[in-house]
Amino acid sequence: MKRNPEIRLDIMIRREEGYYLAHCLQFDLVATDDTIEGVQKAVVELCIAHIAFSHKNNNMEYLFSPAPKEVWAEYYALLNDGKCSFECKKLEIPVDDKTDAPMIPPFIVQEILCNKPPSCRA
């Protein structure tokens, strides 16, 4: 059986004043929460819901809607600054019919966590 290639989702998490913000760059989805753990959970749940909705409605060609180039530039700057931590995990996408599971490619999340307040960023 032919296996679909994995699709990486880049998620930038940073501390803002009084909350954490997580941004999935491939889908341009944003979640916020008061804690790191909360925002990590929220953005992953949002991505899973987005993928499942697109699959259920046979709308996979419109799944991706990339973040603006300025957000990508910030992500790559943080990625290269060496002061951020990384975490990778596989997303488990729920499907109603297990025979449809091969149609959904495996998604891998790469989170970059920068716990610096905005005033400390270069």
Per-residue pLDDT of 59-112, as tens digits, reads 888 899 999 999 999 998 888 877 788 888 888 777 665 545 556 778 888 888
Residue 10 predicted with pLDDT over 60: yes
Residue 113 predicted with pLDDT over 90: no
Confidence (pTM): 0.80
Query: pLDDT tens for residues 45-56?
Result: 999 999 988 888
Strand partners, 23: 12, 30
Which one has a higher pLDDT value, 30 or 58? 30
Structure tokens that stand for 79 in this block: 């990625």
